[in-house]
Amino acid sequence: MTALDLRRRATSRAVEVFCAASVLLALVPLGFILFFVLRQGVPSLRPEFFTQMPKPVGEPGGGMANAMVGTLILIGLATLIAVPVGVVSGVFLSEYKRSRMGSAVRFAADVLNGVPSIVVGIFAYSVAVLPFRRFTALAGGVALGVMMLPLIVRTTEELLRLVPESFKEGALALGATRSRAVWTVILPAALPGIVTGILVALARVAGETAPLLFTSLNNRFFSTRLDQPIASLTVQVYTYANSPYEDWHRQAWAGATVLIAAILVFSLMARFVTRRLERMHRGTA
């Protein structure tokens, strides 16, 4: 073997090692987070955690049933707000790619995506809390919805662009109008990916705390009313973790565990739904 060959092999080997090390390094934080949360959270997770309400300080036990329901309601509201607006905007961007309005919207979505979540919270506070002089679940939904919006807009746009132009041509050649072609052929073709994007966005905002602090606030009682403050897992964890009580710290760890598990479930659902929809499309089912 020549010296050159040896050097090539050594370089190749070094790059491989470097790549593997980087991957490991990237996974280390995730590993640590899971390790600590599970170690502290799992022992405090008892069945009543899912069924009971928070207990007053000093009384052991109790749960976060209200906060779990609250989080579901909040992300449900956020989805109702963000999905219609986001998908329609995504369609606009993919249909009017080069229009001035299109680039403005695209830029705005990217900026919005980078706005710190606390700022989104302040925005929601000023438009959905101040005028009504009340913290409400709805305001929390607005805040989370605004956070989801740019994610949904950009995923929808990207996925619509991946739909072959030939589908659109086919629809137009049959006498479809452009909007008809989009709604009946192009959007359905991109649907699996869009659904995934929505679920990923959901998983992301489900873990937000800051936008909820001064919108939906918190609620020690069970509430499903949209015009009242509502509890959420994240705010509950935040409150408990900040408290001086040992019991509450345990509850906070348990809450964090549930949150992580829920986000994992969302991600798995996203994969599952995507596969199902894609298979339906391809007709191999």
Q: Of these, 59, 166, 244, 246, which contacts another protein (CB under 8 A)?
A: 166
Considering beta carbons, is residue 185 or 259 the nearer one to another protein? 185
Window contacting another protein (CB under 8 A); options: 100-108, 170-178, 230-238, 260-268: 170-178
Considering beta carbons, is residue 167 or 222 the nearer one to another protein? 167
Task: Please report how close the Cβ of residue 190 comes to another protein at its closest, in angstroms.
Answer: 10
Q: Of these, 170, 225, 264, 271, which contacts another protein (CB under 8 A)?
A: 170
Backbone angles phi, psi at 99, to 5 degrees: -70, 155
| Maximum CA extent, the chain | 80
Q: Of these, 5, 47, 59, 282, which contacts another protein (CB under 8 A)?
A: 282
Task: Please report how close the Cβ of residue 89 comes to another protein at its closest, in angstroms.
Answer: 22
Residue 52 vs residues 15, 86, 112: alpha-carbon distances, Å: 54, 36, 38
d(C-alpha 230, C-alpha 209), whole Å: 13
Considering beta carbons, is residue 133 or 282 the nearer one to another protein? 282
Q: Is 20 in the site for another protein (CB under 8 A)?
A: no
Q: Is 173 in the site for another protein (CB under 8 A)?
A: yes
d(C-alpha 26, C-alpha 117), whole Å: 24
What SS3 class is residue 227?
coil
Window contacting another protein (CB under 8 A); options: 75-83, 176-184, 210-218, 263-271: 176-184
Residues 190 and 156: beta-carbon distance below 8 Å:
yes
Q: Of these, 29, 47, 175, 244, which contacts another protein (CB under 8 A)?
A: 175
Residues 41 and 160: beta-carbon distance below 8 Å:
no
Residues 71 and 260: beta-carbon distance below 8 Å:
no
DSSP 136: -
Residue ranges binding another protein (CB under 8 A):
164, 166-167, 169-177, 180, 184-185, 188-189, 280-284
